[in-house]
A and B are shown apart, each in its own frame.
Chain A
């Protein structure tokens, strides 16, 4: 019976902690352009795919990552070098992106985005046929 009571108070505590936890960090990014696409690697340790919210609206790419709650609430924090919180960053993209073909994946806390350029925006190559 005391076990159940303990679990209950822990879960209440973790909800409170989440509500109080309002830090928002600017994640580090690498951005590179290839002939066909724009690519981003975004560092968001602690975020899984369920915590991700990526939007492209009116040429603004918004990236939001919510950190999954951890289960360390019951312990006493004795040393702290980093704080946890959500990640948020926005970028303007002048190039026309093919929104239907945006690819996103997250691995080891790094989000990878591939934003393919629209056909019309790609450099045109005209093949010369040898007749």
Chain B
């Protein structure tokens, strides 16, 4: 529900990113599948305890990705290096883009910035963010004593 509301608000305020984007990538890629030129593109999943973000970063060396986490903000930045062009080679297609990128996301919930993990595999970056205690559904744990 919350997400739907948030999306509506973003549309009304002219933003097309659910996460409330502050900055855009400055890669030179006009040929994206969808209308926005933001890089990297993100999907997000949620369960009771955490948020999982995935991003498509084909051709980016995982070592060239930098993440910065604040309780309500996540910044993904880095650089995608191109292949060094050799003189005499002739390019017939050049659709891929290279360069620096940066996305600054305002998260619609607070996260525990000490509990963040990230991995990169097959050109997909996965970021796991633990929700801050106040965002989690309240649970009362019952300890069973055997004595």
Whole-angstrom distance between the alpha carbons of A67 and B96 in the complex?
Answer: 19
Whole-angstrom distance between the alpha carbons of A99 and B64 in the complex?
Answer: 35
Q: Which listed segment binds A: B40-48, B66-74, B138-146?
A: B40-48
Q: Is the CB of B90 within 8 A of A46?
A: no
- Give the bracket for the number of chain B residues in contact with chain A: 35 or more
Whole-angstrom distance between the alpha carbons of A30 and B88 in the complex?
Answer: 16
Whole-angstrom distance between the alpha carbons of A43 and B27 in the complex?
Answer: 16
> Residues of B contacting A25 with CB < 8 Å?
33
Q: Which of the residues A68, A72, A75, A82 comes within 8 Å of B33, measured between beta carbons?
A: A82
| A78 touching B45 in the complex, CB below 8 Å, given contacts A25-B33, A41-B96 | yes
> Residues of B contacting A76 with CB < 8 Å?
45-47
Query: Does residue A115 face the partner (Cβ distance < 8 Å to B)?
Result: no
Q: Which listed segment binds B: A1-9, A10-18, A32-40, A56-64?
A: A32-40
- Which A residue's beta carbon lies closest to that of B95? A28
Whole-angstrom distance between the alpha carbons of A46 and B40 in the complex?
Answer: 14
1/0 contact string of A64-101 vs chain B (CB within 8 Å)? 00001010101111111111000000000000000000
Q: Which of the residues A32, A75, A81, A110 comes within 8 Å of B59, measured between beta carbons?
A: A110
| A82 touching B43 in the complex, CB below 8 Å, given contacts A30-B83, A41-B59, A45-B57 | yes
Q: Is the CB of A108 within 8 A of B58?
A: yes
Whole-angstrom distance between the alpha carbons of A47 and B51 in the complex?
Answer: 23
Q: Is the CB of A29 within 8 A of B95?
A: yes
Whole-angstrom distance between the alpha carbons of A35 and B60 in the complex?
Answer: 28
| A108 touching B122 in the complex, CB below 8 Å, given contacts A25-B33, A28-B95, A82-B43 | yes
- Which B residue's beta carbon lies closest to that of A47? B122
Query: Does residue B76 face the partner (Cβ distance < 8 Å to A)?
Result: no
Q: Is the CB of B34 within 8 A of A31?
A: no
- Which A residue's beta carbon lies closest to that of B86? A34
Whole-angstrom distance between the alpha carbons of A64 and B44 in the complex?
Answer: 27
Q: Is the CB of B96 within 8 A of A81?
A: no
Q: Is the CB of A45 within 8 A of B123?
A: yes
> Residues of A contacting B44 with CB < 8 Å?
77-80
Instruction: Name, among B44, B62, B120, the residue most crowded by chain A CB atoms within 10 Å (CB to CB).
Output: B44
Query: Does residue A48 face the partner (Cβ distance < 8 Å to B)?
Result: yes
- Which A residue's beta carbon lies closest to that of B3? A78
Report 7 cross-chain contacts, Cβ distance below 8 Å, ordered by A residue.
A29-B96, A30-B94, A30-B96, A31-B92, A41-B96, A46-B124, A76-B46
**Which of A's residues lie within 8 Å of B, judged by CB?**
25, 28-35, 41, 43-48, 68, 70, 72, 74-83, 106, 108-110
Name the 5 nearest CB pairs between A and B, nearest first: A109-B123, A75-B45, A45-B123, A79-B44, A109-B58
